[in-house]
Amino acid sequence: MDLHENEMLTRVGPGTAAGETLRKYWLPVGFSSEISCEMPKLVRWLGEDLLLFRDEFGRVGLIHPYCAHRGTSLDYGWIEAGGIRCCYHGWVYDVNGRCIEQPGEPASSTFKDKITLKAYRVRELGGIIWAYMGAGVPPRCPIIIFSCVTMASEITLVMSVSAITCSS
Ligand code: FES
């Protein structure tokens, strides 16, 4: 394998060949048990630093980890008011990356509506958090595959129970 091939296969950031291929699929980015409403988590997937968090309504977000105001890392923030609040000046971002509160602005200000952090679509299935990091319409979420695995286990279990029942 030459250097070019190695680079092509191992670089996964935005705009790279392997990265764009992987971004066409839902990817497991964490376990449900890893995040709580108290503790956001910095993660790195496909060469991108991201913040994984759960808001007080139980929704999961995977967003750009730095505040659009002064670049403060949002993992120092706390979860409240429908999102994560930056520890510096209190801007709040929801799980879709939208800025939903700016305490320093007048109540009539609509400036927050212009502020959005990059956010990826997330699904939580079977204790696993899946993210779609690509553009456009995502493919079907792996719930089908996961359900099939679960169903196969249940079918196996049912068949085992039946066999025991029949033989006794
Ligand atoms: S740096 Fe986040 S609100 Fe100012």
What are the pLDDT digits (tens) for 23-52? 999 999 999 999 988 889 999 999 999 999
pTM over 0.85: no
Atom of ligand 1 lying closest to residue 90 CA: 3
The domain covering 3-137 belongs, at the CATH homologous superfamily level, to Rieske [2Fe-2S] iron-sulphur domain (2.102.10.10)
Give, for 155, the enclosing helix (H) or strand (E). helix 143-167
Q: Which of 67, 78, 109 for a ligand 1 pocket mutation test, highest count of atoms within 8 Å of Cβ?
A: 67
- The helices-and-strands tally (H runs, E runs) of the chain is 3, 10
Q: Map out the domains of the chain as residue ranges.
A: 3-137, 140-168
Q: How far is the CA of 51 from the centre of ligand 1 (A)?
A: 16
Torsion sign, CA atoms 65, 67, 71, 76: negative
> Whose CA is closest to atom 3 on ligand 1?
89
Distance, in Å, from the CA atom of 155 to the CA atom of 152, rounded to the nearest integer, reads: 5
Residues 6+ apart with CB under 8 A from 105: 111, 112
**pLDDT 10s digits, 78-127:** 999 999 999 999 999 999 999 999 999 999 999 999 999 999 999 998 88
Please list the residues that pair with 69 across neighbouring strands.
none
Atom of ligand 1 lying closest to residue 86 CA: 2
Residues 6+ apart with CB under 8 A from 43: 29, 30, 49, 50, 51, 52, 62
Res 141: pLDDT: 76
